[in-house]
């Protein structure tokens, strides 16, 4: 699969490495331009290239959003994402570090409003980058969990397959509304590495 990664910080850079090592073609971008990504791309290997954000979105069949939520306005026009699977790893933190008040909505629902026609899946937002970097395990009950939420079953299945390929288990927390709330900062599953067994006990 061709995967565009928007945001090459800890989560974006780590996920890009894992996707590439699993055999996927990865195009990585950040706000500072491709020239600043030479070291990251070199460490990933032949399955990765550095591009502009516009090019990353155009390249990807799936797009990983790993930029700060408050910088969504810097993304290409929403129609650029139409028909693509958008994996939203963002969290609604303000510039001061507080969690934004979105009312009854969730951050991923707000992202989806910006991208009509995109198939949005919330994933990779509850796990710390260091756990993502070192926590991959063979398939068994003690695998660590990447939670996913979304309104499109086929897109969630595709993202679940990607998660499996990089060495983690996935658990579906529901729709963008229901699952989005379950995965928001401050929830019982946020920021805490857990196995499938532990996650099922918490979620019930």
Q: pLDDT at residue 82 above 90?
A: yes
pLDDT of the residue at 104:
87
Instruction: Give the residue-averaged pLDDT of 87-106.
Output: 89
Q: Specify whether the CB–CB gap between 111 and 76 falls below 8 A.
A: no
Question: Which residues lie across from 50 on neighbouring strands?
Answer: 28
The span from the CA of 83 to the CA of 16, in Å, is 21
Going by pLDDT thresholds of 50, 70 and 90, the confidence category of residue 100 is: confident
Q: Specify whether the CB–CB gap between 45 and 24 falls below 8 A.
A: no
Q: Which CATH number do you get for residue 155?
A: 3.40.50.720
How many domains does the chain fold into? 1
Going by pLDDT thresholds of 50, 70 and 90, the confidence category of residue 204 is: confident
pLDDT of the residue at 103:
86
Q: Burial-class residue 41 by CB neighbours within 10 Å (0-12, 13-18, 19+).
A: buried
pLDDT of the residue at 203:
92
How many CA atoms lie within 13 Å of 118's alpha carbon, on the beta-carbon side?
30
Q: pLDDT at residue 141 above 80?
A: no
Closest-CA residue to 124 (of 181, 168, 187): 168
The span from the CA of 97 to the CA of 82, in Å, is 31
Instruction: Give the residue-averaged pLDDT of 47-61.
Output: 97
Instruction: Give the residue-averaged pLDDT of 118-129.
Output: 97
Q: pLDDT at residue 194 above 80?
A: yes
Q: Which contiguous run of DSSP H or E holds residue 88?
A: strand 85-88
Q: Give residue 139's domain range.
A: 2-203
What does pLDDT average to over the chain?
95
């Amino acid at each position: 699969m061709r995967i565009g990664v928007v945001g090459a910080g800890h989560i974006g850079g780590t996920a890009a490495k894992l996707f590439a090592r699993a055999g996927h073609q990865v195009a990585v971008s950040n706000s500072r331009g491709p020239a600043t990504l030479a070291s990251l791309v070199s460490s990933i290997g032949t399955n990765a290239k550095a591009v502009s954000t516009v090019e990353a979105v155009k390249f990807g069949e799936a797009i990983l959003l790993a930029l700060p939520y408050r910088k969504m306005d810097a993304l290409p026009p929403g129609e650029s994402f139409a028909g693509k699977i958008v994996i939203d790893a963002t969290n609604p933190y303000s510039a001061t570090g507080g969690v934004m008040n979105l009312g009854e909505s969730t951050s991923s629902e707000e992202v989806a409003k910006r991208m009509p026609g995109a198939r949005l899946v919330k994933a990779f937002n509850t796990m710390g980058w260091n756990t993502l970097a070192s926590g991959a395990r063979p398939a068994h009950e003690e695998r660590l969990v990447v939670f996913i939420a979304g309104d499109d079953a086929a897109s969630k299945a595709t993202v679940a397959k990607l998660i499996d390929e990089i060495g983690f288990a996935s658990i579906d927390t529901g729709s963008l509304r229901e699952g989005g709330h379950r995965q928001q900062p401050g929830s019982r599953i946020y920021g805490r590495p857990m196995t499938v067994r532990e996650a099922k006990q918490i979620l019930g």
